[in-house]
Amino acid sequence: MDDQTLREAVVAERTELAAMLGDLTPGQWAAPSLCAGWRVREVVAHMTMPFRMSAAGFALGMLKARGNFHRMADRQAKQDTARLSDAELLASLRNNVEHPWRPPGGGMVGALSHDVIHGLDISVGLGLDRRPPASRVRLILDSMNSKNIRYFGADLSGVRLEADDLDWSLGQGAPLRGSAADLLLVVCGRRIPAQLLTGTAAARFAG
pLDDT at residue number 5: 95
> 114 exposed, middle or buried (CB, 10 Å; 0-12, 13-18, 19+)?
buried
List pLDDT tens digits, range 60-96. Answer: 999 999 989 999 999 999 999 999 999 999 999 999 9
Q: For position 105, what pLDDT does the model report?
A: 83
Residue whose C-alpha is closest to residue 164's, from 131, 190, 117: 131
Q: Are strands 159-163 and 169-170 parallel, antiparallel or unpaired?
A: antiparallel
Residue 1 has pLDDT above 80, yes or no: no
In this predicted model, what pLDDT tens digit does every residue of 122-176 receive, in sequence order?
999 999 999 999 999 999 999 887 777 787 888 999 999 999 999 999 999 999 9
Distance between the two ends of the chain, CA-based, in angstroms?
33
What is the Cβ-side half-sphere exposure of residue 80, based on CA atoms within 13 angstroms? Answer: 29
Q: Does the global pTM surpass 0.85?
A: yes
pLDDT category, 27, cuts 50, 70, 90?
A: very high
Q: According to the model, what pLDDT value does residue 150 have?
A: 81
pLDDT at 55 over 90: no
The pLDDT, as a whole number, for residue 147 is 77
* Residue 178, SS3 per DSSP: strand
- Please report the pLDDT score of residue 207 as a whole number: 86
User: How much is the pLDDT for 151?
Assistant: 79
Q: What is the pLDDT of residue 136?
A: 96
Whether residue 92 contacts residue 81, with contact meaning beta carbons closer than 8 Å, is answered with: no
Higher-confidence residue of 144 and 113: namely 113
